[in-house]
Amino acid sequence: MTLADARDPALVGGKGASLGELARAGIAVPPGFVVAVDGFAAAMAAVDASGALRAQLEALGALGAGDPPLLARACAALRARIIEAPLPSPVADAITASYAALGEPDAPADVAVRSSATLEDSAAASFAGLQDTYLGVTGAPAVLEHVRRCWASLYNEESVAYRRRLGLPERALAMAVVVQRLVAPRAAGVMFTRSPVTGDRSVVAIEGVWGLGSALVSGDVTPDSFIVSKITGEITTRRISPKLKTHTHRPNARVAPPHSPSAHGPGVSVEDTPFNLRDAPCLTDDEIRALAAIARQVEAHYGAPQDIEWALLDADGSPAAPSAPSAPSAPRIVLLQSRPETVWAAKDPAPAGAPKPRPADHVLSLFGKPL
């Protein structure tokens, strides 16, 4: 199904549902589609019709009765079967058609294939990130293969062990896969619809780097940071940092999940930022304001402060490397993710003031305060 139709997290996974909600709210996200959980179910029905293999995992991984080497072998075997088994043809045809629509007949799209687990973003938040994401996948056969790899990644040892610790039933498990046209941003980063430092809700705080946002998330690069007033649009703070490195995609590689500490895995290549771009702001004032406007739109849509991942694309959407800040083509902003801000939401700041019997009493008490 298309991203715009992705609603129910039980069907399309957390990531799929979140991107779907953004798309329906009119926010640009990289175009793509979701292979819903029924695709996974159909595939597993072909690979493990009776559920015996999965029951075996449950038994081997049971708390206290664990046999790590045995479990590892069983996992590997199941993963191999999933990766090797051809997809049931209705599922394969649907994926092939949806993928074709993302590109041109003579120029198939570069896509990212991302796991979208149904447990993601729920109480077991740390479960997110245990499954695989593949960047730079090109051509229908490769896409089909990497969808299978995503499914298979549900059965890597860490995931299984994690589920066994929580006692989650293997039979109920499902996974959706999001396939999105690959974003090769000129700049990318995060933004918060309130100040992460002071909690101020009247500003949008934006952090950005050249190239992929992984440079920022991994802590590889100190990002440029900007504070924009939601009310006046004024950019009240700009801190331009020397951005010595730039992350870019490397085709056909497995990428560590974006929020894990080892964010620049094999899928990301780390290069020295061209000298003339290091100290240049990665965003123009207009781009900063455009980002802030989108942030406000997303916040209004969810009705709560948000923590957002964004990417800035040049008009053609696929520059190979960051270009000069004054690139002639109009940029485009897409969001990769939005989730509720949690740090300040949990705090209860003291009120800034309370009304007094007479307005002038505010002044009287100000000057009455001892030094």
Partner 1 sequence: MTEQAGFPLPSQIADVPGAENWRSMYQYFTRFQPEDDQRFWFYNSMHFPEPMPAFDTITGEIPYQAIGANTARLFVFPTTLGIEHRIVNGRIYITANPVLDPAEIERRAAEFGPRAGYYFENWDSLYEGWKDRLRALITEVESIEVPSLPEWEPADVVFGAVGVAQNHYLQENFHRVLALYSKMWHHHTEMLMLGYGAYVVFFQFCQQAFPEISDQTVARMVAGIDVIMYRPDDELRALAKLAVELGVDDLFTEGCDASAVLAALGGRGTAGAAWLAALEAARDPWFHVSSGDGFYHHHLSWNDDLTVPFTALPGYVAAIGAGTLTSRPTELLISERERIASGYRELLPTADEQAAFDQMLGLCRLVFPFVEDHKFYCEHWFTTRFFQKVKEFGALLARFGVIGSADDVFHLHHTEIDQALADLSLAWAAGSPPLGGGHFPPIIAERKRMLKVLEDWSPPPALGPVPEALNDPAVRMLWGITSERIAAWLNPDPDEVVGVAASAGVVEGIARVLHDVSEISSLREGEILVVPVTAPSWAPVFAKIAAAVSDIGGAMSHAAIVAREYGMPAVVGCGDATKRIRTGDRVRVDGDRGTVRVL
Which among 176-184, 257-265, 309-317, 345-353 is the span making contact with partner 1, rule CB under 8 A?
345-353
| Least distance (Å) between residue 340 CB and partner 1 | 17
- Nearest CA among 8, 28, 25, 20 for reference residue 291: 28
The DSSP annotation for 301-325 comes to HHTS-EEEEEEEE-TTS--SS---T
- What are the structure tokens assigned to 153, written together? 């990644």
Residue among 250 and 289 whose Cβ is closer to partner 1: 289
- Does an H or E element contain 46, and which? helix 37-47
342 binds partner 1 (CB under 8 A): no
119 binds partner 1 (CB under 8 A): no
**Residue 330 lies near partner 1 (rule: CB under 8 A):** no
Under rule CB under 8 A, residue 303 binds partner 1: no
Q: In this structure, are residues 226 and 235 in contact, taking their beta carbons and an 8 Å threshold?
A: yes
- Asked if 354 is part of the footprint of partner 1 (rule: CB under 8 A), the reply reads yes
- Which range in 11-19, 76-84, 235-243, 286-294 contacts partner 1 by CB under 8 A? 235-243
Q: What is the CA radius of gyration of the chain?
A: 23
Contact range with partner 1 by CB under 8 A, out of 141-149, 156-164, 173-181, 222-230: 222-230
Q: Which residue of 2, 89, 122, 236 would you call a contact of partner 1, by CB under 8 A?
A: 236
Choice from 2, 89, 122, 237 touching partner 1 (CB under 8 A): 237
Position 369 contacts partner 1 (CB under 8 A): yes
For residue 260, what are the contacts with CB-CB under 8 A and spacing of at least 6? 129
Give buried/exposed letters for 162-197 (b at 16+ CB in 10 A, else e). bbbeeeeebeebbbbbbbbbbbbbbbbbbbbbbbbe
**Token pair of 183 as six digits:** 């974003």
Q: Does 371 bind partner 1 (CB under 8 A)?
A: yes
105 binds partner 1 (CB under 8 A): no
Q: Which residues pair with residue 203 across a beta bridge?
A: 229
Rounded Cα distance, 159 and 233, in Å: 45
Which window, 48-56, 126-134, 200-208, 330-338, contacts partner 1 (CB under 8 A)? 200-208
Choose, by CB under 8 A, the member of 199, 257, 317, 319 that binds partner 1. 199
Nearer to partner 1, 202 or 329 (CB): 202
Per-residue buried b or exposed e for 248-279, using 16+ beta carbons within 10 Å of the residue's own CB: bbbebeebbbbeeeebbbebbebeebeeebbe
CB of 355 to partner 1, least distance (A): 4
State which of residues 5, 145, 200, 307 lies at the interface with partner 1 (CB under 8 A).
Answer: 200
Nearer of residues 167 and 369 to partner 1, judged by Cβ: 369
Identify the sign of the CA torsion 181, 184, 186, 191.
positive
Residue 186 CB, nearest distance to partner 1 (Å)?
Answer: 21
Residues contributing to the site for partner 1 (CB under 8 A): 195, 198-203, 227, 229-232, 234-238, 351-356, 358-360, 362-364, 366-371
